[in-house]
């Protein structure tokens, strides 16, 4: 009889060999992953180090101009070269080769510094940084060489310097324990070594920025770095292949910009070159990350966008406020934002000192110590990166092509942070974002200290000093307000501005030539870039109690000083109608009119908002009339209006048939009425 035993014990040789193979493959995969992670980390550090090397060279080249006093000396110091002056640099994470190109750019030099190295896979990598250096000394805007006894305005670099070594782990831990080093909200450390300097330290313990003479050791008073913060948004509809790890924030001169995002636990994580932010708006219209640029007091310069593959002609960076009615706040397309204050000197009569061509002389000045921007409650200094046609350079394209008015733009920053529903205004997410020039004069606390016995400061900048005009013209006019009431405070609150800015007009103290009229005189500076000035003068007052014959007057090709017509205003009850316009590509609102003979309407320069007001209403009388709107080609839809609280009025809308639409308002009370419009495709239907 044959007996069999099915209960096999032990492990066969084949099973052992299979197990060893599986284990070996697993260990090899783990080792490969570990090697890849280490390699990527080293590559990230090498790229950051290359950017710092390039930036340091730009600053060094700027410093070369400190002792230059003539054009010949400048030409000798900055010889034109194409990727020359090669220098080998042994870095911490790689061996680098630095070259530079210097080209003529009118009275300045265009500088590009290149840094090359081989990455972990022996592939060649390169970063580059561009800048422009004028032939003057950097401090020459405030260097009063003919008045040597007067103080000088600090140079653009400010009171910070790049780098200062590396802390050991023990040094950093000890500093944290004693309170000498404190973590920031963006993953950095602020370190005070009690030697009068203040240092910014990254997570690898590298000192990336040093604040010179941060402490007055005698008095024990210390200052801090300047911090400028915002967000970088990627418009996913037009930049679908661009990741946040491909986008870098760079500040000119001595500065360090930290890029970071918040993880699911709300903790700041540094955004490395190969990493990506997980922060997206609710419908994935935008991907974004946060940044903070650290600077020294006295700095003035640029903060801008660099893409890892370089910015092409199709890459468009939008800035500005898409919800504003004012031309000077409208979106612009620019890859950098300029920060600068402007001072002037006055003669014995209080007038600005002018040059030989009778043009005002202005002096640049930088930021105050420890300044934090944005101020509490203000919008971030954001950038929105998109892709448009090469020839799309006008700022209105940021709205007409949908970039800043996607569905997610209806959310405000607060809506996103507190997970609340969106509002009804397109572009609300970007409301209040500065344009490509941030004037420090708007707040005296933003400006670095200066000798006010020598210099004076206006409440605004007359123009962007990075693009100075050829000549100034003056437009003078009057505002006449007819009333037998005593309303001094309302009259004193009236302002006038130009389409170039909110502070280019000066109003003299009002007078009262009769018991039934107030009079205000104003002068507005407008600037000509060689082809005459085009723009408008705008009267700003409380239009709920006042009706004026016009509050925005357009001008074309102004080439000399002129007198404007008087603005005639009357006091009484007024109905105002305002609204945002959802545009459709290049199709926008082109006009708004009212059949009220004394009323008026104005459309924003980008066709994405408007405002109308009625003539004076008699006491207790409601307003009835028609508002007519026109686009430049597509159908127009009018939303149901939000009538003033308590109003018993009614309305009738005719829209959706053509590029013209209108609304009849009947018996609407005085106050503010909100009326939104939408431009749709010609074959579309109104919502």
pTM: 0.69
How many CA atoms lie within 13 Å of 195's alpha carbon, on the beta-carbon side? 8
d(CA 408, CA 395): 20
- Give a three-class secondary structure readout of 198-224: EEEECCCCEEEEEECCCEECCCCEECC
Domain ranges within the chain, ordered by starting residue: 44-136, 160-212, 225-446, 469-532+548-571, 573-687
Helices (H), 412-517: 413-418, 488-492
Torsion of CA 678, 682, 684, 687, to 10 degrees: 20
* pLDDT tens digits, 264-306: 777 778 877 666 777 899 999 999 999 999 999 999 999 999 8
Angle formed at CA 541 by CA 537 and CA 547, multiple of 5 degrees? 95
- Dihedrals phi, psi of 414, to nearest 5 degrees: -65, -40
The DSSP-derived string for 92-108 is SSSEEEEEEEEEEETTE
**Which pLDDT score is estimated for 3?**
45
**Which pLDDT score is estimated for 42?**
64
Residue 505: C-alpha distances to residues 278, 447, 512, 561, 603 (Å): 46, 21, 21, 14, 22
Give the pair of three-digit tokens for residue 141: 């805007």
Give the pair of three-digit tokens for residue 673: 């009425």
d(CA 373, CA 381): 8
**Nearest C-alpha neighbor of 365 from the set 453, 442, 298, 302:** 298
- Positive or negative, the CA dihedral 675, 680, 686, 687 is negative
Consecutive sets of 10 residues in the chain, 687 residues long: mean pLDDT of each?
A: 48 66 65 51 72 76 58 76 86 86 74 87 82 50 31 62 86 86 87 81 88 67 90 94 89 89 80 74 93 93 87 91 88 92 88 82 91 93 94 88 92 85 88 94 92 90 82 92 91 92 88 93 90 90 85 89 90 88 86 91 84 87 94 92 77 94 92 88 86
610 in Cβ contact with 603 (< 8 Å):
yes
**Which pLDDT score is estimated for 102?**
87
The phi-psi region of residue 535 (left if phi > 0; otherwise alpha if psi is between -120 and 50; otherwise beta) is: left
96 in Cβ contact with 53 (< 8 Å):
yes
* pLDDT tens digits, 236-262: 999 988 988 889 998 988 899 999 888
**Which pLDDT score is estimated for 674?**
86
């Amino acid at each position: 009889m044959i007996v069999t035993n099915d209960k096999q014990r032990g492990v066969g040789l084949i099973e052992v060999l299979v197990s060893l193979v599986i284990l070996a493959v697993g260990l090899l995969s783990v080792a490969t992953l570990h090697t890849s992670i280490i390699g990527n980390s080293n590559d990230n550090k090498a790229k950051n180090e290359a950017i710092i090397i390039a930036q340091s060279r730009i600053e060094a080249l700027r410093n070369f101009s400190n002792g230059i006093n003539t054009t010949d000396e400048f030409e000798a110091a900055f010889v034109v070269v194409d990727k020359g002056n090669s220098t080998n640099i042994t870095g911490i994470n790689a061996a680098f080769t630095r070259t530079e190109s210097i080209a003529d750019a009118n009275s300045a030099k265009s500088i590009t510094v290149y840094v090359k190295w081989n990455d972990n896979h022996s592939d060649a990598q390169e970063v580059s940084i561009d800048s422009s250096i004028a032939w003057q000394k950097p401090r020459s805007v405030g260097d009063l060489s003919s008045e040597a006894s007067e103080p000088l305005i600090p140079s653009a670099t400010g009171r910070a310097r790049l780098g200062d070594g590396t802390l050991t782990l023990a040094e950093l831990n000890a500093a944290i324990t004693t309170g000498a080093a404190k973590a920031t909200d963006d993953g950095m450390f602020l370190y005070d070594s009690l030697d009068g300097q203040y240092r910014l330290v990254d997570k690898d313990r590298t000192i990336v920025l040093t604040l010179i003479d941060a402490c007055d050791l005698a008095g024990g008073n210390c200052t801090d770095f300047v911090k400028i913060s915002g967000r970088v948004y990627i418009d996913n509809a037009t930049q679908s292949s661009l990741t946040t790890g491909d986008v870098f924030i760079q500040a000119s001169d001595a500065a360090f910009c930290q890029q970071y995002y918040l993880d699911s636990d709300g903790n700041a994580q540094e955004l490395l070159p190969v990493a990506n932010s997980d922060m997206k708006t609710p419908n994935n219209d935008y991907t974004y990350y946060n940044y903070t640029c650290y600077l020294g007091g006295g700095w003035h310069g640029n903060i801008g966008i660099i893409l890892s593959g370089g910015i092409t002609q199709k890459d468009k960076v939008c800035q500005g406020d898409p919800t504003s009615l004012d031309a000077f706040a409208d979106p612009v397309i620019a890859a950098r934002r300029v920060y600068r204050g402007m001072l002037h000197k006055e003669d014995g009569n209080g007038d600005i000192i002018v040059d030989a061509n009778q043009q005002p002389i202005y002096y640049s000045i930088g930021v105050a110590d420890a300044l934090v921007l944005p101020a509490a409650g203000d919008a971030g200094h954001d950038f929105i990166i998109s892709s448009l046609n090469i020839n799309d350079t006008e700022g209105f394209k940021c709205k007409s092509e949908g970039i800043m008015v996607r569905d997610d733009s209806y959310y405000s920053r607060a809506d996103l942070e507190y997970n609340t529903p969106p509002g009804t205004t397109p572009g609300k997410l970007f409301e209040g974002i500065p344009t490509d020039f941030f004037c420090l004069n708007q707040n005296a606390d933003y400006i670095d200290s200066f000798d006010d016995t020598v210099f004076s400061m206006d409440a605004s900048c007359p123009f962007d000093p990075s693009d100075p005009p050829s000549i100034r013209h003056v437009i003078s006019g009057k505002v006449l307000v007819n009333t037998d009431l005593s309303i001094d405070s309302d009259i004193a609150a009236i302002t006038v501005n130009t389409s170039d800015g909110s502070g280019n007009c000066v109003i003299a103290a009002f007078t009262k030539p009769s018991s039934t009229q107030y009079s205000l005189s104003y002068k507005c500076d407008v600037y000509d870039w060689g082809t005459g000035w085009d723009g408008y003068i705008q009267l700003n007052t409380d239009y709920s109690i006042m009706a004026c014959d016009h509050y925005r007057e357009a001008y074309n090709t102004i080439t000399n000083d002129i007198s404007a017509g008087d603005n005639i205003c009357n006091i009484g009850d007024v109905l105002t109608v305002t609204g945002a316009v959802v545009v459709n590509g290049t199709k926008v609102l082109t006009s708004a009119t009212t059949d009220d003979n004394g009323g008026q309407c104005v459309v924003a320069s980008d066709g994405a908002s408007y405002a109308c007001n009625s003539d004076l209403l008699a006491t207790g009388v409601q307003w009835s009339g028609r508002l007519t709107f026109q686009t430049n080609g597509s159908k127009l839809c009018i939303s149901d209006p939000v009538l003033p609280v308590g109003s018993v009025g009614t309305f009738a809308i005719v829209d959706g048939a053509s590029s013209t639409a209108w609304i009849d308002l009947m018996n609407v009370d005085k106050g503010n009425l909100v009326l939104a419009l939408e431009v749709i495709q010609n074959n579309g239907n109104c919502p």
